[in-house]
Amino acid sequence: MINKLKECLNIKKEAIWIKTNQEKETLPAILNTLSEEDIDNVYMWSIIKTIEKVKIVAENKYTKERYTEAQVSNPAQFINFYNSLQQDPEIQTSAIILRDYIDCLETNPMYKRMIKEIVEQNNDKYIPLIFTASSYDVPADLLDTFTLVEYNAPSKENIADLLNLYELKNNIEIKNKKDIIDCLNGFYYREIIEMLDTSFYRYGKVNMSMLKEKKIELINKTNLLKYEIPTVAMKDVGGNEKFKEWYNETKYCFSREAREYGVDTPKGMLALGIPGCAKTLSAKAIANDLQVPFLELDMSKLLSCRVGESEQRVSRAIELIESCAPCVLLIDEVEKAIGGYASSNASDSGVVARIFGKILQMLNDNDKGIFCVMTSNNVQDLPPELTRSGRLDAIFYFSLPSEEERKDILNIHFNKRGYKVSNLILKEAAKITKLYTGAELEQVAKESIKKAYVYKMRQNNKEVKITKSIIQHAIQNVIPKSKSSKEKINALETWAQGRALYANEKSKVDLDNIDDIDVSDFDVM
């Protein structure tokens, strides 16, 4: 940002738009730059404080005092203040920072016209107008008026310089700088200093483990991403053997050796299917197997009614995702956020379309080891650009588990909780749970264990056993939601044919006759 701002000042750009959501951190950097360019008189306008005169007292430090020589209680009076600076013979160099003016531009066309006239008139003095805003959208009729400067997180080189200064300031030696730089990458200066200070306060040194903890905390605090170190293994995913076969081949392609051999690093996959069929579980298992972080992007949090904020949020999210690479990124139910992109220009001024474009760009430019798993329950709502060949490594359809898979899933969940159930009981239970998802079968196991424990307490028995009767009652208490999703399942089945790989053995569920299944068919001698 600093170099671009210096360039704008040297070529005398009249209106500069600095895009940042870190205003507190950006202001000192702007003021330092103005001071370096020998601009002595700096004024700052905000909607509450109106005009204040700003004085640099040291690097990254400044003072403010109320400027009483001009009344600028509203944006309309600002032009009078600007003209007074132009006419004041004692003021040779000056600049004005406008902190809230962007919001005013959105509400009143008169303010737009005022800025245009200031920029277009032949001024005797160069008085740059520097706007700070979190919005990423310059009003269309002001695009030619403003020069855009983006305040990004510092580069790895900048972080290295910061660490060197931190060593000098605290008289310490920071070891493993490369790993620490990788850990701090993607964060702003203020956040980096906070992480370093916390570590130094607790341990008297820069502690890598604590930095990682703080990194997870800061990422989760954004409310955009959820950072998790998964414990789910592939063996915990019941069924879906076809998907597992694909992954067991694909995982070799993540290595540096594979890249040197000319193999492209896998970019991601689209997982289709109704909720509860192990799509998210499979993504976590991949992260665990690769021993990389698991990130979940909440697409609903990216959308905002404030103009430009959605694009700013997705850009920030991408910065943080890239800072965690290599990693597995989950975008759950992606259709809910970008499904309406086709009508976006008409319905939301193109916000969804721009978000979708940034996501596509991330997928196209992905060379940092980010494996993106997108899930969808309504593939019909997805734009065709997302599913075109080459953008993703695979499209998988996670259908309802087969009878054998249901038996395996039940066995996994009973074993995980320390219970052995007879193979015969599991087999019969699998027969009468035809429309159950993996998540619902897990609930059957939980409900069975609960009932067994209650029975033990009532009978004062020492041993908890999972019997035929207990599982039978548990099945009755877990009603599969899939019964109300016949149309959705049929639509997914139809779309998947010829377009997607099957995660499990292709087995068409007889949805029309599913209601004929009776739990009383649980026939175990």
Q: In this predicted model, what pLDDT tens digit does every residue of 449-476 receive, in sequence order? A: 999 999 888 888 777 788 888 999 999 9
Q: Are 106 and 162 members of one domain?
A: no
Q: Per-residue pLDDT tens for 332-385?
A: 888 876 655 444 444 455 677 777 777 778 877 777 889 999 998 887 777 777
Residue 181: pLDDT band with limits 50, 70, 90: very high
3-state helix/strand/coil string of 108-137: CHHHHHHHHHHHHCCCCCCCCEEEEECCCC
Helix, strand, or coil (residue 441): helix
Residue 188: pLDDT band with limits 50, 70, 90: confident
Q: In the block, which residue shows the tokens 């890249």?
A: 259
Q: For residue 114, is it within any domain? A: yes
Number of domains in the chain: 4
Length of the chain equals: 525
What pLDDT does residue 136 have?
Answer: 55
Tell me how far the alpha carbon of residue 260 is from its chain's centroid: 30
Contacts of 115 (CB under 8 A, 6+ apart): 15, 105, 129, 142, 145
Q: Are 421 and 479 members of one domain?
A: yes
Q: Which of 88 and 405 is assigned the larger pLDDT?
A: 405
Q: For residue 192, is it within any domain? A: yes
Residue 77: pLDDT band with limits 50, 70, 90: confident
Q: Which range among 65-69, 89-93, 304-308 shows the weakest confidence by mean pLDDT?
A: 304-308
CA distances in angstroms from 438 to 13, 136, 303, 385, listed in the order given: 61, 42, 31, 30
Mean pLDDT of the chain: 83
| CATH number of the domain encompassing residue 410 | 1.10.8.60
Q: Are 170 and 136 members of one domain?
A: no
Which amino acid is it at 410?
Answer: L
Q: Residue 45 in contact with residue 51, Cβ under 8 Å?
A: yes
Does residue 241 have a pLDDT over 90? yes
Q: Are 199 and 272 members of one domain?
A: no
Q: Residue 486 in contact with residue 434, Cβ under 8 Å?
A: no
Q: Residue 89 in contact with residue 124, Cβ under 8 Å?
A: no
What pLDDT does residue 137 have?
Answer: 64
Residue 38: pLDDT band with limits 50, 70, 90: confident
Q: Are 55 and 171 members of one domain?
A: no
Residue 242: pLDDT band with limits 50, 70, 90: very high
Q: What is the mean pLDDT of residues 155-167?
A: 89
Pairing state of beta strands 50-58 and 61-66? antiparallel
| CATH number of the domain encompassing residue 139 | 3.40.50.300
Q: Are 88 and 180 members of one domain?
A: no
Contacts of 213 (CB under 8 A, 6+ apart): none
Domain boundary among 175, 195, 221: 221
Q: For residue 181, is it within any domain? A: yes
Q: Which of 249 and 486 is assigned the larger pLDDT?
A: 249
What pLDDT does residue 525 have?
Answer: 36
Q: Are 100 and 180 members of one domain?
A: no
Find the Cα–Cα–Cα–Cα dihedral 295, 406, 442, 233, rounded to 10°: -40
What pLDDT does residue 196 have?
Answer: 92
Domain interval for residue 213: 156-221
Q: Are 68 and 140 members of one domain?
A: yes
Q: Are 472 and 391 members of one domain?
A: no
Q: Residue 150 in contact with residue 38, Cβ under 8 Å?
A: no
Q: Are 248 and 197 members of one domain?
A: no
Domain boundary among 221, 238, 260: 221
Q: What is the mean pLDDT of residues 86-109?
A: 81
Q: Residue 254 in contact with residue 265, Cβ under 8 Å?
A: yes
Q: Are 237 and 384 members of one domain?
A: yes
Q: Which of 414 and 224 is assigned the larger pLDDT?
A: 414
CA distances in angstroms from 453 to 419, 466, 467, 474, 509, listed in the order given: 12, 9, 12, 13, 34
Q: Are 216 and 253 members of one domain?
A: no
Q: For residue 498, is it within any domain? A: no
